[in-house]
Amino acid sequence: MKALVIYFSRADENYFGGSMKYIEKGNTEVVAEFIREITGAELFKVERKVPYSKDYMTCIKEAQDEQKRNELPELAKELTDINDYDTIFIGGPIYWGTLPQPMFTQLSKLDFKEKTIMPFSTHEGSGLASIVRDIRKFAPTANIKPGLAIVGSNVNSSKPSLKRWIDEQL
């Protein structure tokens, strides 16, 4: 198996079960790195050309406005092909019920024909929300496996459940 993880993750100010704190590494990045440890996958981090604000409440509003306008924001750099990989993990935080819009900018540039997709999220209660359905729009013929949702504040202890999910699905 040759695997790639395409993910979005935001450090800076974030919300953890009732309080705000500044973090150095986003929750989804912790998960992406565990997937690399388990599978040897390579990582591609999707980054917005103009990052969301560090301030949580401002970021919430920016992401909501962008989603309402169905905007595909420009990225710092784009991945142009995934020919070398057969399995693609696609993940990110849940932003207003789905993946952050920059993920859709990236997915819209790729051809997922004959790929296996492993969807995952980190979240504060929404689970996978509508990410599987939304990924399907960009990968109509891919083999999309059941996804895994991890609560943001539990990411540091998520490696065993990630391993179980990967062993079961691949």
Q: Which is nearer to ligand FMN, 90 or 142 (CB)?
A: 90
Site for ligand FMN in 41-100 (CB under 6 A): 59-60, 63, 93-97
87 contacts: CB under 8 Å, gap ≥ 6? 1, 2, 3, 4, 39, 41, 115, 116, 117, 118, 170
Taking CA atoms, 136 is separated from 12, 37, 87, 125, in Å, by 30, 27, 15, 22
Q: Using the rule CB under 6 A, which residue among 4, 28, 99, 144 binds ligand FMN?
A: 28
Q: Using the rule CB under 6 A, which residue among 122, 128, 148, 166 binds ligand FMN?
A: 122
Site for ligand FMN in 126-165 (CB under 6 A): 126, 152
From CA 130, how far away is CA 112, in angstroms rounded? Answer: 19
Which chain residues interact with ligand FMN by CB under 6 A? Answer: 9-10, 14, 26-29, 59-60, 63, 93-97, 122-126, 152
